[in-house]
Structure 1
C-alpha cells in the first residue's frame, strides 16, 4: 500500500507512516473527497467512481499540531500497476510535514512500530483483501 511519511509539526523528531486522506469539503461525497485527496496529496488522478465501495470505516482520536482531533474515516482501496507519485499539489503545511512516500506490506509496517495509528496495518490488510476480491470477480 502507498503511505506517506510525515510528522506532527510540534513533534518533527517523531515521524510516522500514514494513509492518504483529508476532509470532505462542502458539497462533496466521501468518494469525491477521496479522489480529490489522491490528486492533491500524491498526484494520482482517478475519478470518484473508480474508488469503488469503501473497504473500511472507523473513528480515531489523536493530537496533531496541539489540537485534539476526532476523525471519522472512510477508506477506499484501488489496485494500480504503476503510478508516479507527485507532491506538486500539496498545501504548504503538507509540504512542511510530509517528507516521502513508500509502498508497504502490513506486516512490515507493523514490525517497524512507525504507523501513525495502531489501526493502519489492519486497514492495509483489509484493503489488500478487497482489491484481491475485486480482481478475482
Structure 2
C-alpha cells in the first residue's frame, strides 16, 4: 500500500509476541464485534498513544492485555512490520504495525487490565507453536506463523 491510500493517515500500532523457553508464542483469541461468529488467534498489542514510542506501546499493551510487565528496552529491535487495511467494529483502519519479540517465562494471562471493548471481544490466551497454529488454521492472517517464527528466532539469538 502507498501512503496516499490511508485517508486519515496510518494508525501506529505495536504488537508483541512473548516467546517461552519451549519456542511457543502467547496469542489471544477473539473476534471482531461485528463478526463474533468468526473468531481467530492474534498477537498482543494495539495502537500507540501520540507520546509513546512503539516499544513503550508494546510494553503497555502487554501489561493491559495479559498482565505481564516488561521494560520497553528489553523488547529489543522490532522483528517485523506490516502495513495493512482492515475492518474492526464496522470501521476501516489503516494500520502500520511493528512487531516485537519478548523472551518470557511461561505465565498465565491475566485479563484484568483490559478495557471494556477488549473484555467483550477476547475470551482466552494460549501458548502456540507455529506448527500447531498452522495445523489449526485459526490464525488472524496467513503471515502470523511466519511472524511467530521470526520472533522465536530473534529470542533464540539474544
Q: Which TM-score bucket, shorter chain as reference?
A: over 0.9
Question: How far is the alpha carbon of 1:109 from its aligned partner?
Answer: 0.8
Question: How far is the alpha carbon of 1:131 from its aligned partner?
Answer: 0.7
Of residues 73, 95, 102 in structure 1, which corresponds to 2:126?
102
Aligned: 1:61 with 2:85: yes
Counterpart of 2:96 in structure 1 is 72
Question: How far is the alpha carbon of 1:67 from its aligned partner?
Answer: 1.4
How do residues 114-129 of structure 1 correspond to structure 2 at under 5 angstroms? 114-129=138-153
TM-score after normalising by structure 2: 0.82
Over aligned residues, Cα RMSD in angstroms?
1.0
Counterpart of 2:5 in structure 1 is none
Runs of 4 or more off by more than 4 Å in structure 1? Answer: none
Cα distance in 2 for partners of 1:32, 1:62 equals: 24
Cα distance in 1 for partners of 2:94, 2:137 equals: 22
Structure 2 unpaired stretches of 5+:
1-24
Q: Secondary structure at the match of 1:83?
A: coil
Question: How far is the alpha carbon of 1:82 from its aligned partner?
Answer: 2.5
Cα distance in 2 for partners of 1:104, 1:90 equals: 21
Structure 1 unpaired stretches of 5+:
none
Counterpart of 1:22 in structure 2 is 46
From the two aligned structures, give the one with the greater strand fraction: 2
CA contact (8 A) 1:57 1:72 kept: yes
